[in-house]
Amino acid sequence: MLPQIKVKNLEKSYGGNKVLKGIDLAIEAKKVHAIIGPNGAGKTTAIEIMLGIRDKDEGNVEYVHLAPGELGVQLQNVPLFPALTVKENIELFSAFYRLSEQVKNKIPEILHILELTDAGTKLAGQLSGGQKKRLSIALAILHEPKVLFLDEPTADLDPRGRMQVRSLIRELANEGKAVVITSHDMDEVAKTADQVFFIKDGKVIEQGSPESLLNKFSAPSLEAVFMTLTEENGRENDGQSL
């Protein structure tokens, strides 16, 4: 059976501030999902609840055919060990995950795809921003997770690096994994995602494939859709405050 995460009526408040207001999401295998929206919309909180690192107030998160160790995460604040080499970082994370020999044998292929093969003896603290990003992605997929969360996966990468990461993400989805990305780069989202969830003020106000959103809003780009949704929702909020 294919893994998925079902989120129903998710609510979360900090003090008197309600950050999530009944969010519904369906994260499915073989798809790349993009969670987008303006800063402070509730994206990070929703993802942290799905990952189990933050408690919800109301609602339900159902993990279907998923065990806790079958989630993979790459965050913006890369948890690397700067005094260790790339190879040593990978060996350390491999030990954390207790990888089988079969999985370990795939590590060279991952490093080749992410162009880290020649950086194996380099200290993680001496890597460029793009190399750190590629290493963080490699560490997130070492244990072959069924669901993968990637935070701004193509940020800090040159055009070649972005293309390689997009290709890797598509390959992972084609293998049956569910992939969730967050990004402020709408062009990257349009090229990568199968399903887009637009969150504003703690609610999912629009969702669909990039193509369906472009058609619905008669927009030339996903960035134009983003601007339209932000402006429309802002006008609605202004009207409610009168």
Q: Checking DSSP bridges between strand 71-74 and strand 203-208, what pairing results, if any?
A: unpaired
CATH topology of domain 3-235: Rossmann fold (3.40.50)
Judged by average pLDDT, the poorest of 20-24, 65-69, 120-124, 134-138 is 65-69
Evaluate if residue 107 carries a pLDDT over 90: no
Average pLDDT estimate for 42-61: 94
* Banded model confidence at residue 240, pLDDT cuts 50, 70, 90: very low
Tell if the pTM clears 0.75, that is, is over it: yes
CB distance 60 to 7 below 8 Å: yes
What value does the mean pLDDT take over residues 8-21? 95
* 5-22: average pLDDT: 95
What tokens does 131 get? 């190399």
Residue with structure tokens 């949704």?
Answer: 229
Cross-strand partners of 6: 26, 62
The answer to whether the CB of 181 falls within 8 A of the CB of 169 is yes
Exposure string over 59-71, b if 16+ CB within 10 A, otherwise e: bebebeebeeebb
Bridge partner list, 200:
203
Q: What's residue 86's pLDDT?
A: 93
Q: Is the pLDDT of residue 24 over 50?
A: yes
Distance CA 168, CA 214 (A): 25
Sheet arrangement for strand 4-14 = 17-28, 4-14, 58-64
Q: What confidence score (pLDDT) does residue 239 get?
A: 38
**Are β-strands 71-74 and 4-14 bridged in parallel, bridged antiparallel, or unpaired?**
unpaired
Strands 71-74 and 147-151: parallel
Instruction: Indicate the domain borders of the chain.
Output: 3-235
